[in-house]
Amino acid sequence: MEILIAEDDEQIANSLRKNFAEDGNPVMIAKDGEEAIHFLKSISFDVILLDWRMPKVSGIEVCRYIRESGSKVPIILLTALSQVKNKVEALNLGADDYVTKPFSFDELAARINAVVRRYQSNTNELIFNDITLDLIGRKVKTPRGEIYLSGKEFDLIKYFILHKGSIMSKEDICKEVWGVNFVPSTNVVEATVKNLRRKIEDNYGKNLIKSIYGEGYLFIVE
Amino acid sequence: MEILIAEDDEQIANSLRKNFAEDGNPVMIAKDGEEAIHFLKSISFDVILLDWRMPKVSGIEVCRYIRESGSKVPIILLTALSQVKNKVEALNLGADDYVTKPFSFDELAARINAVVRRYQSNTNELIFNDITLDLIGRKVKTPRGEIYLSGKEFDLIKYFILHKGSIMSKEDICKEVWGVNFVPSTNVVEATVKNLRRKIEDNYGKNLIKSIYGEGYLFIVE
DNA sequence: GTTAAATATGAATGAATTTTCATTATTGTT
DNA sequence: AACAATAATGAAAATTCATTCATATTTAAC
């Protein structure tokens, strides 16, 4: 989980970085709001922690900037200001949570999990590496352009990405993609996999769907 | 916004009810966790406030019950327990926020707005009267059963519901449903409207799509 | 290496959807 | 009421998609 921390107090920033690193989460630190906005223009994060008081551009202004740019990324304000009117202002501006210093790292981590969980469980995108499924528009986007998939192919790649990294039996795939009471007497599944493979490969260069002899398919995670 | 409050302290409960009522939000009060679960079985709320310590069933158990039943409704724990381990436990169980007593009503209201905003902005359903579009499953549900729509028909009814109550020109409909650079030389739009009308009428009894001579279509809101 | 089972593939079929088109019906205006 | 413009309709044509089938290739086990 990529985390952006905008915090001018080096001690706090480094302590957070250390804690997150222990949990295996890479952290990027911006020393003021201006730098945070600079990072945000080119990198996408899973959650953003903002100190309120920072040089140049304040956390609350960064928050406003993010929301005005249309992003829904989870934002947590992280500040010494404990007055109700500050909290209300931040939350109304689109922040997802507000934690006052000093705080416990465990609580912060739990709050981050809560907002990220909510964000991801309700998002309309399914992302795998640089392949993004737009679940509502039913489009597949990659840096190399859009992949045009038919309905069944889209359902199939969605199932694959949702179960990436583990072997999926053909029976289970069938149940989910073709419907509970559909028992194929032919090789529809294989045929659809074939077509999907071709389209991914055309766009992606390599194939991501591996066959496991006698067991099913595996969507590869590197 | 329908709010459920589970709180055994009558004074707190009534004070909250009064405050929410001033903002025009109807409130339902459960005096313990058991009653809260009872309400939840038949009524749907926009947000749920749970006291941790309550007779019979605790707030944290209600929270667990809600998440296990598959609901994603926003939940805020509202308690005197301020220890970090309690907060962490609640948030990890699926609560969206945790507010410790005593709290300011303004802050609580702002936190409610934050979680509800997040919840609603990312919902995958489009509801009109008793017609529900499942935007991801691309299904249309009504109390009289499911309506089976083809791709174009689904896109069209989605556009209609999003713009209900105002006249939609055929050019605008075309742009959105068929794509920006599609200029029909035939009456595709009318033909698709016809098919959609028939399917809605078969299920719904009456037609909801009105033609405005010379201007376009209007999806009726009573 | 052989073999049998499992999987992959290209082409053909069948079904559903989308679009077209000719005709009919409706609307607003005179 | 007559007219012209607009909209609705049924059926046909075109297209796309899902499925089937026959054949080829790959795999694991012997």
pLDDT digit string (tens) for A154-168?
Answer: 999 999 999 998 999
How far apart CA A175 and CA A147 sit, in angstroms, is 25
Is the domain spanning A125-219 CATH 1.10.10.10? The answer is yes
- Tokens encoding A133: 């499924």
- SS3 letters for chain B? CCEEEECCCHHHHHHHHHHHHHCCCCEEEECCHHHHHHHHHHCCCCEEEEECCCCCCCHHHHHHHHHHCCCCCCEEEEECCCCHHHHHHHHHCCCCEEEECCCCHHHHHHHHHHHHHHHHHCCCEEEECCEEEECCCCEEEECCEEECCCHHHHHHHHHHHHCCCCCECHHHHHHHHHCCCCCCCCCHHHHHHHHHHHHHHHHHCCCCEEEECCCEEEECCC
Residue B83 is predicted with a pLDDT of: 86
Residue B159 is predicted with a pLDDT of: 93
Is the domain spanning B3-121 CATH 3.40.50.300? The answer is no
B181: Cβ under 7 Å from strand C? no
Residue A211 is predicted with a pLDDT of: 92
A171: Cβ under 7 Å from strand C? no
Residue A124 is predicted with a pLDDT of: 82
Which position has the higher pLDDT, B123 or B69? B69
CB pairs under 8 A between A and B: 77
Range list for CATH 1.10.10.10 in chain A:
125-219
Output the average pLDDT for chain B: 91
Tell me which amino acid residue B89 is: E
Contact yes or no for B91 and A104 at CB 8 A? no
- Evaluate if residue A126 carries a pLDDT over 80: yes
- Evaluate if residue A120 carries a pLDDT over 90: no
- Evaluate if residue A174 carries a pLDDT over 80: yes
- Evaluate if residue A221 carries a pLDDT over 90: no
Question: A3-122, which class in CATH?
Answer: alpha beta
Of the listed ranges A39-43, B31-35, B153-157, B199-203, the least confidently predicted one is: B199-203
Angle CA(A183)–CA(A188)–CA(A189) in degrees, nearest 5? 85
Residue A72's φ and ψ, nearest 5 degrees, are -110, 15
Task: Name the pLDDT band for B130 (thresholds 50, 70, 90).
Answer: confident
Of the listed ranges A39-48, A105-114, A120-129, A200-209, the least confidently predicted one is: A120-129
Residue A9 is predicted with a pLDDT of: 93
8 A C-beta contact, residue A91 and residue A100 = no
Of the listed ranges A21-35, A94-108, B62-76, B173-187, the least confidently predicted one is: B173-187
Range list for CATH 3.40.50.2300 in chain B:
3-121
In chain B the first and final C-alpha atoms are separated, in Å, by 21
CA-closest candidate to residue A115, choices A126, A128, A99 = A99
Q: How far is the CA of A210 from the C1' of D27 (A)?
A: 13
Read off the pLDDT of residues B57-77 as tens digits, 9 standing for 90 and up. Answer: 999 999 999 999 988 899 999
| Residue B142, strand partner residues | B145
- Tokens encoding A30: 């911006």
Residue B145's φ and ψ, nearest 5 degrees, are 115, -175
Q: How far is the CA of B70 from the C1' of C7 (A)?
A: 38
> What is the average pLDDT across A188-203?
92
Residue from the list A88, A109, A114 with its beta carbon closest to the beta carbon of B107: A88
| Bridging pattern class, strands B131-134 and B139-142 | antiparallel
Range list for CATH 3.40.50.2300 in chain A:
3-122
Residue from the list B85, B115, B121 with its beta carbon closest to the beta carbon of A72: B121
Q: In what order do the strands lie in the sheet with A145-147?
A: A125-128, A131-134, A139-142, A145-147
B184: Cβ under 7 Å from strand C? yes
> Is the link from the previous residue into B55 a cis peptide, with omega within 30 of 0?
no
Strand C: list positions under 7 Å from protein Cβ.
6-11, 16-22, 27-28
Residue from the list B72, B91, B113 with its beta carbon closest to the beta carbon of A114: B91
> Is the link from the previous residue into B143 a cis peptide, with omega within 30 of 0?
no
| Residue A139, strand partner residues | A134
Q: Which residues of A touch B123 (CB under 8 A)?
A: 122
Residue A7 is predicted with a pLDDT of: 95
> What is the average pLDDT across A26-43?
94
- Evaluate if residue B120 carries a pLDDT over 80: no
- Tokens encoding B52: 């941790």
DSSP-based three-state secondary structure for A49? strand
Residue A173 is predicted with a pLDDT of: 92
Q: Which residue has the tokens 């740019």?
A: A69
Contact yes or no for A110 and B87 at CB 8 A? yes
Residue A76 is predicted with a pLDDT of: 96
8 A C-beta contact, residue B14 and residue B40 = no
How far apart CA A114 and CA B94 sit, in angstroms, is 7
Read off the pLDDT of residues B140-186 as tens digits, 9 standing for 90 and up. Answer: 999 888 899 999 999 999 999 999 989 999 999 999 999 877 787 89
Residue A145 is predicted with a pLDDT of: 87
Q: Which residues of A touch B (CB under 8 A)?
A: 72, 84-85, 87-88, 91-92, 94-97, 104, 106-107, 109-111, 113-115, 117-119, 121-124, 135-136, 138, 151
